[in-house]
Amino acid sequence: MLILENVKANYGHVAAVRGVSMTVEEGEVVCIAGPNGAGKSTLMHCIAGAKKPAGGTIIFAGRSVVGESTEITVRRGISLVPEGRRIFGGLSVEENLKLATHYRENRGEIKNDLDRVLDMFPILRERYKSGAGKLSGGEQQMLAISRALLTRPRIMLVDEPALGLAPQIVDQVYDTLLDLRDEGMTLLIVEQSVERALENADRLYVMRSGLVELSGTTDALWGDDRVGQAYFGFDTQNPGTSA
């Protein structure tokens, strides 16, 4: 479904992504793990059309999306749940959700989709007319996921879904994401915690300093010392030794 080849991205003279290649198959949950500053979010923005790559190719469903606007990529079936949720706090829950349907052409199906996300997250139905800025962090994450789902994506990009949330809420969020996978949704998730990525994904890419240091199925990588070496940049058995 998604093929990245030698993708590069810069901020001024700083190379944030330095040549990343990866694939996501339809129906998979793929996690990108890595420390802060690894280039994970920048890569997601390139896929979603929020940032133009400096080089490389991004192929979604057989067609390039490089240089396309966020509006076009959403229409094509790519939806981003950004880091930090980025909901519109001054608007109500209802208004946040309805904004997500602005570009949809199948207007007659919007009500059914809206009912579906409100059934998925009953607290949003309870707070439907309330200001989104008054929601808790976990509730805002539910709103951000619902907003993405209302665009009817083929693949959902989820950037740091656990950021700032209590462990119990993180578990609820991941349960929801895995339920979506069971319904056929393809997911690419940025996750700072390698352990959480290994627990929830089918495959894992570990990024550090703008590059993919290690990749493989989570079954194969579970308990593999190379994961820590790739993440931290040194031998986890001999911390003073550079990997």
CA dihedral 50, 41, 156, 229 (to 10 degrees): 150
Work out whether the CA dihedral 82, 83, 88, 92 comes out positive or negative. positive
- Token readout for 93 is 């829950």
Average pLDDT, integer, range 17-42: 95
> Which residue ranges form the domains of the chain, and what is each CATH number?
2-85+153-232 (3.40.50.300)
Q: Please list, in sequence order, all residues whose beta carbon lies within 8 angstroms of the beta carbon of residue 186, skipping any fewer than 6 positions away.
A: 1, 2, 24, 25, 26, 27, 28, 154, 155, 156
Mean pLDDT of the chain: 89
pLDDT value for 237 = 43
Q: 213-239, pLDDT tens digit by residue?
A: 999 999 999 988 899 888 887 544 443
Q: Place 18 in a pLDDT band, splitting at 50, 70 and 90.
A: very high
Q: What are phi and psi of 136, to 5 degrees?
A: -70, 170
Top-confidence residue, 243 or 187:
187
Q: Write the Ramachandran bin of 142: left for phi over 0, alpha for psi from -120 to 50, otherwise beta.
A: alpha
Average pLDDT, integer, range 120-145: 89
Q: How far is 174 from 158, CA to CA, in rounded Å?
A: 11
Q: Place 79 in a pLDDT band, splitting at 50, 70 and 90.
A: very high
pLDDT value for 85 = 66
Helix, coil or strand: residue 30: strand
pLDDT value for 111 = 85
Q: Please list, in sequence order, all residues whose beta carbon lies within 8 angstroms of the beta carbon of residue 203, skipping any fewer than 6 positions away.
A: 28, 30, 31, 215, 216, 217, 218
Helix, coil or strand: residue 5: strand
Average pLDDT, integer, range 160-164: 85
Half-sphere exposure of 208 toward its Cβ, with a 13 Å CA cutoff?
Answer: 15
Q: What are phi and psi of 104, to 5 degrees?
A: -75, 140
Share of the chain above pLDDT 70, in %: 93
Tokens 């040194």 sit on residue: 234
Look at residues 205, 177, 168 and name the one whose alpha carbon lies nearest to residue 190: 205
Q: How far is 87 from 97, CA to CA, in rounded Å?
A: 10
Is 60 exceeded by the pLDDT of residue 241? no
Q: How far is 152 from 139, CA to CA, in rounded Å?
A: 21
For residue 163, the one-letter residue type is L
Q: Place 172 in a pLDDT band, splitting at 50, 70 and 90.
A: confident
E strand or H helix at 213, and its extent? strand 211-217
Q: Place 162 in a pLDDT band, splitting at 50, 70 and 90.
A: confident
pLDDT value for 179 = 92
Average pLDDT, integer, range 191-201: 92
Angle, CA of 29, 33 and 36, to the nearest 5°: 145
Q: Place 100 in a pLDDT band, splitting at 50, 70 and 90.
A: confident
For residue 139, the one-letter residue type is E
Q: 49-77, pLDDT tens digit by residue?
A: 999 999 999 999 999 999 898 889 998 99
pLDDT value for 99 = 84
pLDDT value for 178 = 93
